[in-house]
């Protein structure tokens, strides 16, 4: 193998060696008349052998039995539920592969502009049910599975969630994939194939969160196709030597292999089936034979381990980058994934045979948060060092191709990397970042910092604020700044959030460049999973009522508006309420079978499920619950009779290193233990913390909720998407004036939402007061002070355990719980009052669902397609 240090190649640019068969290459032979010739063998034999999608029950059972007997090598007498699920899944996979193949060939022939969604997280959940529904085959499979002696619901429960994400950001990526395929857009996802997804959450007897590994690939995963022949070499460390012509040679260091795994993404009632390509890291040559022969076996094994480690585990932090600050493995993951994805994208583009300058006409790359920001210097490296383009031309291509979505304005969540770490791991990229900082031709005039200097002469502070490099020990690379000068467009994820991005963290850039690069795309959710799949009875009622097949309204969600008049129809309301009740019973059954606890299904179901984070204020919720408990204890029996019974559900994971968030879980669990055991109050108030929150758990919880809580400190929640899921399923919302809550209220009517709390513009001043002119809680909010004293006093066991948590409120109160507590309690009282009028409540519920159409992720993805990527739907025929 030639080496970069080989005298014959020294000084020449090094092109990465790729072992790739061009799977998607398409160069058909044509005959004299210009007609396409069959590529090989006898066309008739090929066509006769070609498999279609089986839709009748007999073909389906045949295919399942075939997989039982051949793929699994089992028989009817030794087949359990897991085996039956696997055989049925493999049979569905055959259908997906047929559609997937047709789609990819079709795209290759048509060569449309494509969009690529780069996300470090894809929180997919389960696939079996979703695939059956999108293919329109669920009824047939149910019948076939019954005939084979199994139960569909039991088989669905066999599948493990693909938990390759932390929360909202990863779930958003999954919804966008579903919408891209359903709206027939040529979009691929790129991510990492983590061997271990988000950790499994256990709760200890003391109420503490314990983390266990998530070996989701333990029993084989039928939903992925290994593409051993699609692989790329990715380099780390080594040296970057600049040449005189502006290029550089990067050599030495460590090389690892990225191997592709493809996950098929079926559209809803369409042949279009898109791809999610996940990369796995492997040692380049297995064992390094040289060191093996030299007797250094241990070293050889070690390097193979360190290559495999790159895609071993998902980092379990959400909105808290500080917890992996300086973690080299995390940066390695980010580069490994962007480098492999870009190599793959560039190769596919080159197969079209167009000049590289036309790259932006065929490729749009969307970056989900700053995690893939290295795509900018990496694409520059490819264009300058490998394609030998002049710097300015390369920069123009990059800035016309790449788009960036911002997901947070929380300062602790803004990504930064220490310069020494990046210099060591990615020496060439560090050079390029420095060059961009200094020499980028910006606004067709000047170099970036020079251009800033010229526009604001003498404003050194502004220069320092805007630089890609933050001064300090060590210096740090600001990924969001790199993102927003290297991208064609930047967007936030809800109206308020996009405004905040423009007026806070990227203010200098908006002033510098004008506002046209900065816009908003409000998040969405897929109604396939978050209505049809999780709430089949409601979906069926909607189809029946609208007299429209779900294959139509699920892809045109604005049609839900036609439900509005039925809010006045008593018979319809009765059906609506009965479905909510059955969904509550389904959840109660789930809690009974998994935790052995009996839930009161006659109570109002009040749900807060999301990652545990101080800004999301689960603490406010549990303190509100305790307040309610103390109030109930004070009441006479007669007074209690008038109280609206309530069951409060919590679920969510805390980052393993997030001490305060974990303490909140502990308070919830221990408060629940005492409250639920109190015979005086337990008919009126119970609390559950359901462990191990996941997409599948969300699918059971969301349809059962009467009210859900989205109570972040104003200005901190970028959008939220679980708020949309609840409202789509007819649950009402209690929340702050934050994120997408605001747009939901605009859509469903403010009288159908329970708002409380301070508004965003007040937050900064209030924080200032808490820091410099603190007022004791006893004065500021006596009701809250009583609750805090009760906890500290030990009603839920040793109160001192909770001091660090309660002190965040007593001192500083950064998330303003003392400021919002009274109005929060007031809002909950209004919820109780409204719930007493059942008929009115159901009307609100129906109106809410009816007005949620615009929160379909179909709307969001079409906005990206039209206003950002400039791609169009193409139907596979
Ligand atoms: C939708 C969803 C989220 C996002 O919830 P938010 O309340 O918007 O933060 C997180 N986790 C899972 C499993 C989800 O389905």
Please say whether the beta carbons of 328 and 421 come within 8 A: yes
Q: What is the pLDDT of residue 46?
A: 85
CA–centroid distance, 425 to ligand 1, in Å, is 34
Residue 11 confidence (pLDDT): 37
Provide the pLDDT for residue 16: 44
Q: Is 144 in the pocket of ligand 1 (CB under 6 A)?
A: no
> Residue 12: which pLDDT band, with cuts at 50, 70 and 90?
very low
Q: Which residue has the higher pLDDT, 295 or 122?
A: 122
Q: What is the mean pLDDT of the chain?
A: 92
pTM, to two decimals = 0.94
**Does residue 321 surpass a pLDDT of 80?**
no
pLDDT at site 512? 84
Indicate which atom in ligand 1 lies nearest the CA of residue 694: 13
Q: What band does 33 get if pLDDT is binned at 50, 70 and 90?
A: confident
Give the percent of the chain with pLDDT over 90: 82
Instruction: Check pLDDT > 90 for residue 101.
Output: yes
Q: What is the 3-state secondary structure (H, E, C) of 506-529?
A: CHHHHHHHCHHHEEECCCCECHHH
pLDDT tens, residue by residue, 192-225 = 999 999 999 999 999 999 999 999 999 889 999 9
Paired strand residues for 256: 234, 283
pLDDT at 444 over 60: no
pLDDT band at 487 (very low <50, low <70, confident <90, very high): confident
Q: What is the C-alpha to C-alpha distance for residues 174 and 774, in angstroms, rounded to an integer?
A: 44
pLDDT band per the 50, 70, 90 thresholds, residue 34 = confident
Homologous superfamily (CATH) of 530-761+821-855 is Glycogen Phosphorylase B; (3.40.50.2000)
For residue 810, pLDDT over 60 is answered with: yes
Q: Does residue 721 line the site of ligand 1, with CB under 6 A?
A: yes
For residues 173 and 158, give the distance between their C-alpha atoms in angstroms, rounded to a whole number.
24
Find, among 134, 161, 82, the residue nearest to 699 by Cα: 161
Numbered ranges of CATH 3.40.50.2000 in the chain: 111-125+161-522+864-869, 530-761+821-855
Q: Which of the residues are catalytic? A: 407, 610-611, 616, 721, 725
Neighbours of 591 (CB within 10 A): 18
Asked if 282 and 568 count as a contact pair (C-beta separation under 8 A), the reply is no
Statement: residue 639 has pLDDT above 90 = yes
Cβ 610 under 6 angstroms from ligand 1:
yes
The reply to whether ligand 1 has any atom less than 6 angstroms from the CB of 258 is no
Place of tokens 């997989």: 67
Give the nearest ligand 1 atom to 720 CA: 8
Position 81 scores a pLDDT of: 97
What number is the average pLDDT over the span 271-281? 97
Ligand 1 atom 8 nearest Cα: 720
Q: Which residues of 19-47 are buried (b: 16+ CB within 10 A; e: fewer)?
A: ebeeeeeeeeeeeeeeeeeeeeeeeeeee
Please say if the pLDDT value at position 707 is more than 60.
Answer: yes
Which residues, 6 or more positions from 499, have their beta carbon under 8 angstroms from its beta carbon?
492, 520
Strand blocks (E) in 153-238: 162-164, 187-192, 200-203, 209-212, 224-236
Two tokens, residue 849: 């669902």
Phi and psi at residue 170, to the nearest 5°: -70, -35
pLDDT, mean of residues 542-555: 98
**How many whole angstroms from 171 Cα to the centroid of ligand 1?**
7
What's the pLDDT at 294?
A: 61
Which of 523, 610, 616, 860 is the best mutation target for the ligand 1 pocket, counting ligand atoms within 8 Å of the beta carbon and taking the most?
Answer: 610
Decide if 563 contacts 849 (C-beta within 8 A). Answer: yes
CA–CA distance from 324 to each of 235, 313, 321, 377 (Å)? Answer: 22, 13, 6, 22
Q: Does the pLDDT at position 438 exceed 90? A: no
Cα–Cα distance, 358 to 350 (Å, whole number): 10
Confidence band for 326, pLDDT divided at 50, 70 and 90: low
For residues 375 and 495, the answer to whether their CB atoms sit within 8 Å is no
Q: Which of 238, 131, 121, 129 is nearest to 173 (CA)?
A: 121
Q: Which residues pair with 265 in a beta bridge?
A: 274
**CATH level 3 topology of 111-125+161-522+864-869:** Rossmann fold (3.40.50)
Q: 654 CA distance to ligand 1 centroid (A)? A: 13
Task: Give the separation between CA 677 and CA 511, rounded to whole angstroms.
Answer: 59
The model's confidence at residue 14, banded by pLDDT at 50, 70 and 90, is very low
Residue 337 pLDDT more than 70?
Answer: yes
Three-class DSSP category at 255? strand
Q: What is the mean pLDDT of residues 281-307?
A: 69
């Amino acid at each position: 193998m030639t080496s970069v240090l080989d005298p014959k190649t020294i000084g020449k640019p090094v092109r990465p060696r790729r072992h790739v068969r061009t799977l998607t290459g398409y160069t058909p032979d044509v005959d004299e008349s210009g007609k396409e010739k069959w590529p090989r063998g006898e066309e008739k034999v090929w066509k006769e052998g070609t498999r279609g999608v089986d839709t009748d029950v007999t073909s389906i059972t045949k295919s399942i039995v075939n997989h039982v007997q051949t793929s699994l090598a089992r028989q009817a007498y030794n087949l359990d539920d897991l085996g039956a699920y696997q055989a049925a899944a493999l049979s569905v996979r055959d259908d997906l592969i047929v559609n997937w193949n047709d789609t990819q060939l079709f795209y290759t022939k048509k060569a449309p502009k494509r969009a690529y969604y780069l996300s470090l997280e894809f929180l997919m959940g389960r696939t079996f049910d979703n695939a059956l529904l999108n293919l329109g085959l669920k009824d047939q499979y149910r019948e076939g599975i019954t005939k084979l002696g199994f139960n569909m619901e039991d088989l669905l429960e066999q599948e493990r969630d693909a938990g390759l994400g932390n929360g909202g950001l990863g779930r958003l990526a999954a919804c966008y994939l579903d919408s891209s395929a359903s709206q027939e857009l040529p979009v691929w996802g790129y991510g990492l194939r983590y061997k271990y997804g988000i950790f499994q959450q256990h709760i200890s007897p003391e109420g503490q969160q314990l983390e266990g590994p998530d070996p989701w690939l333990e029993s084989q995963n039928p939903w992925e196709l290994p593409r051993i022949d699609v692989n790329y070499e990715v380099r780390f460390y080594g040296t970057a030597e600049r040449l005189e012509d502006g290029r550089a040679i990067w050599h030495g260091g460590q090389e690892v292999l990225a191997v592709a795994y493809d996950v098929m993404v079926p559209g809803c009632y369409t042949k279009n089936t898109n791809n999610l390509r996940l990369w796995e890291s492997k040692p380049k040559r297995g064992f390094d034979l040289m060191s093996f022969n030299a007797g250094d076996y241990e070293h050889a094994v070690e390097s193979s381990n360190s290559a495999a480690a790159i895609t071993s585990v998902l980092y379990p932090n959400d909105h808290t980058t500080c917890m992996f600050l300086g973690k080299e493995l995390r940066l390695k993951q980010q580069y490994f994934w962007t480098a492999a994805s870009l190599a793959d994208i560039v190769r596919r583009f080159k197969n079209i045979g167009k000049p590289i300058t036309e790259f932006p006409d065929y490729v749009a790359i969307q970056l989900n948060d700053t995690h893939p920001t290295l795509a900018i210097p990496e694409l520059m490296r490819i264009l300058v060092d490998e394609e030998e383009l002049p710097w300015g031309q390369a920069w123009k291509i990059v800035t016309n191709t790449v788009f960036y979505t911002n997901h947070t304005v929380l300062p602790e969540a803004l990504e930064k990397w220490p310069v020494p770490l990046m210099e060591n791991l990615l020496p060439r990229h560090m050079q390029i970042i420095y060059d961009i900082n200094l020499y980028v031709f910006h606004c067709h005039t000047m170099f970036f910092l020079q251009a800033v200097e010229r526009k604001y002469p003498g404003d050194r502070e502004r220069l320092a604020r805007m630089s890609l490099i933050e001064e300090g020990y060590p210096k740090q690379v600001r990924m969001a700044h790199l993102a927003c000068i290297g991208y064609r467009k930047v967007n936030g994820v809800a109206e308020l959030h996009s405004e905040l991005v423009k007026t806070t963290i990227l203010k200098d850039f908006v002033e510098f460049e004008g506002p046209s690069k900065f816009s908003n795309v409000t998040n969405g959710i897929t109604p396939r999973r978050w209505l049809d799949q999780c709430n089949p009875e409601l979906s069926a009622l909607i189809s029946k009522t609208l007299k429209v097949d779900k294959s139509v309204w699920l892809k045109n969600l604005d049609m839900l508006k036609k439900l509005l008049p039925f809010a006045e129809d008593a018979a319809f309301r009765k059906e609506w309420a009965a479905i909510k009740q059955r969904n509550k019973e389904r959840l109660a059954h789930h809690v009974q079978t998994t935790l052995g606890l009996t839930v009161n299904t006659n109570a109002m179901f009040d749900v807060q499920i999301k990652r545990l984070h101080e800004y999301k204020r689960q603490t406010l919720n549990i303190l509100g619950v305790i307040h309610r408990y103390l109030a109930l204890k004070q009441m006479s029996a007669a007074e209690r009779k008038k109280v609206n019974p309530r069951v409060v559900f919590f679920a969510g994971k805390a980052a393993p290193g997030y001490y305060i968030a974990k303490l909140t879980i502990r308070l919830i669990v221990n408060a629940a233990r005492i409250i639920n055991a109190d015979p005086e109050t337990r008919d009126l108030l119970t609390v559950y913390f359901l462990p191990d929150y996941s997409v599948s758990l969300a699918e059971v919880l969301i349809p059962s909720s009467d009210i859900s809580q989205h109570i972040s400190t104003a200005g901190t929640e970028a959008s939220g998407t679980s708020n949309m899921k609840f409202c789509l399923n007819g649950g009402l919302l209690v929340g702050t004036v934050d994120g997408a809550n605001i747009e939901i209220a605009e859509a469903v009517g403010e009288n159908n939402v329970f708002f409380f709390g301070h508004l965003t513009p007040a937050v900064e001043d209030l924080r200032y007061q808490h820091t410099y002119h603190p007022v004791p809680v006893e004065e500021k909010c006596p009701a809250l002070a009583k609750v805090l004293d009760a906890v500290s006093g030990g009603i839920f066991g040793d109160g001192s355990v909770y001091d660090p948590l309660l002190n965040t409120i007593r001192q500083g109160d950064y998330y303003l719980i003392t400021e919002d507590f009274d109005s929060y309690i007031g809002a909950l009282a209004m919820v109780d009052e409204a719930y007493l009028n059942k008929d009115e409540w159901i009307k609100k519920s129906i109106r809410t669902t009816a007005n949620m159409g615009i929160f379909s992720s179909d709307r969001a993805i079409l906005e990206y397609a039209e206003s950002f990527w400039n791609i169009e739907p193409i139907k596979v025929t």
